[in-house]
Chain A
Amino acid sequence: MNGLISLLQAAIVFGTVIMFGAVGEIITEKSGNLNLGVPGIMYLGGIAGLIGVFLYESSTATPIPVLGVIIGLLCAFAASVLGGLIYSLLTITLRANQNVTGLTLTIFGTGFANFFGGSLNKLAGGVGQISVAVTSSAFRASIPGLARLPYAGSLLFSYGFMVYLAIVVAVLVSWFITRTSLGLNLRAVGENPATADAAGINVTAYRYIATCLGAGISGMGGLYYVMDYTKGTWANDGGIATLGWLAVALVIFATWKPVRAIWGSFLFGVLFWLYFYVPGLTRSSQELFKMLPYIVTILVLIFVSLQRKRENQPPAALGLPYFREER
């Protein structure tokens, strides 16, 4: 029982990182932009949050945790939106290829974040290990009374606030896409931009805003990774890149539905950590076990294309550029 609970806990913490990434990417892809820069954006969000909080914590003797949290959120959001803006500018205004631009954004974001993550110590004058303990513990603070309940407490209430925020954001995005007229317009842009344009919807504006907002949400995944998953330190181990690509995979798994991304992300977490809890695995067969999330995603991808159910398909114009005069 304890093993199961700790597996589920690990899965939820893990799932939260990719849930943010995936929900952001769903908004972006609903507008028809296939942004492969998600890992880069998550890196940008993570490092910007860390730098912001680090500068704040080292500037005062007694940092206020709540202020640190707000600074972290704002910095991460701003940096991720900036990443989305670079992507939008290149693909929408300058008409560059989406895949190439997205991959470049990933290269840039990875380099930028790891460079500053690795050099922050030296740039700050050699303060030793970069750590933002006060803010990080605020990110990780759980609801005091509830967390002590047996089983349910540790399973449901033992996490920092961003775990719940991720679920709220996913539900809100789902509501936005399916229940509001703005969301309907957004879907129209992603399905058939020419028709949307003819109906008077500003395709360019929708794509810009959806991509930037989506990037902002994706970036929260990076922030959560840095503040909670690695407890306010920077690790140059490529962890965010792996999780970023899993977020892209999760979008497919969830068939572009944010609510499905909630349980999908936890399932991915279980699949990812399962090798740790399956007895009798050797070190080499563990590695084969870690393929599971990717193989499941491939199977879903194949299944969706075989099934041809309309509500499970990717947005029809996904990955395609739209230029009014080139119709």
Chain B
Amino acid sequence: MRKDSSEPLVRISKRATIASWKAWLIRIAALFAALVICAVIIYAITKMNPLKVYGTMFQGAFGTSKRLWVTIRDIMMMQCIAIGLAPVFKMRFWNIGAEGQILVGGCAAAACMIYFPNIPLGLLLALMAISSAVAGAIWGLIPAIFKAKWNTNETLFTLMMNYVAIQLTSYCVALWENPYGSNSVGIINPVSHSGWLPSVFGQAYTLNVVIVLLLSLLMYVYLRYSKQGFEIAVVGESENTARYAGINVGKVIIRTMAISGAVCGIAGFLAVSGASHTISTSTAGGKGFTAIIVAWMAKFNAWVMLLISALIVFLERGAVEIASAYNLSNHVSEMITGIILFFLIGSEFFINYNVKFRGAARRAE
């Protein structure tokens, strides 16, 4: 090297591999940096000791057995959506319509609860789960078919489908409102509990956990060990390679999107039958968007998703607790989640790339 100035200040090279402990160390460092930034903001607003505020958050999420179970329920909800999104994202198909798929699934489940309250519980729950999955799958299939046949942009199509679903839900809410004029459906079957997921071992949300973990396991096996999972990976890496290898790309897109929509529809079923026992336009509540980030950051690994879902739900529940403790707006949780996600997204760069500063190489010599 003749002159220092000919060397750029920063050089970036792609890492071939990185030890997984190093990758996690970078992620944890990013998380820590995000928490410090949030602490500064919290201090600026509330003038309270941030550590104490984080303590309050912890209390809000895990403080009592009831809170703990609500946290677990929300984690399972997020996880369910994220595993639904994993296969399509692996295929590089941008399904940002989870929000809508959840809502139509929820509407289908609520419709079964309202119109068939008298059939036996087991049968009714099966009917609800199936109709939710079918509704979600249809919602996913519409953009997938257009993508497969005419290469219609799926990001924007699925996004628009969300809003069609929201209006459809508003329509259902107005149709089923109870009591009349309240503009909400209210708790469905409050006395008979018809169509509610039953308590198991004295816990209302045990079944949510069982269903979602089972789905996670199935998805993990499907993506990793099945022929179809392999096809998804090939299409995701390169459509041309897939075509050359004799894979029917259109068919894979349509099939995978149907699966994805169905799982998101089941998330809607869980939200209605296993959590709120009602339906409203906020049943999905933005989780369909957050889960996209969860699935992406977990690199489609079902178990890493669980970890990230847990982190995000903890933050949300904790932030709601701060908000009520200090009489602030609930939206503080979205702000904190946003900041932490920014850092985690940014940290991926340092995992994938090696950054060398000018002079570092010389010192190493």
Contact = CB atoms under 8 A, between A and B. Distances in A.
B134 to A, nearest CB: 21
B48 to A, nearest CB: 13
Interface string A77-114: 00000000010011000111101110111111111111
Given A104-B293, A115-B329, A90 B342 contact: yes
Q: In terms of DSSP, what is the predominant structure of the interface of chain B?
A: helix
Contacts of A86: 342
Contact of A291 (B150, B168, B334): B168
- Chain B interface size range: 35 or more
Contacts of A36: 96, 155, 159
A106 B164 contact: no
B331 A100 contact: no
A285 B175 CA distance: 9
Contacts of B96: 36, 99, 103
B36 interface: no
Contacts of B327: 122
**Chain A interface SS verdict (over half):** helix
A123 interface: yes
What class of interface size applies to chain A in its complex with B? 35 or more
A104 B153 contact: no
Interface string A279-314: 000111111101100110110011001100000001
B237 to A, nearest CB: 14
Nearest to A96: B345
A122 B328 contact: yes
Contact of A107 (B286, B329, B349): B286
Contacts of B152: 301-302, 305
Nearest to A123: B45
B80 interface: no
A111 B153 contact: no
A239 interface: no
Given A111-B335, A284-B171, A101 B345 contact: yes
Contacts of B14: 325-326
Interface string B319-346: 0000000011111111111110110011
Interface of A: 34, 36, 86, 89-90, 94-97, 99-101, 103-119, 122-123, 236, 242, 245, 248-249, 252, 282-288, 290-291, 294-295, 297-298, 301-302, 305-306, 314, 319, 325-326
14 contacts: A36-B159, A94-B349, A96-B348, A97-B296, A100-B297, A114-B334, A118-B329, A123-B45, A294-B167, A295-B164, A298-B164, A302-B150, A305-B146, A305-B153
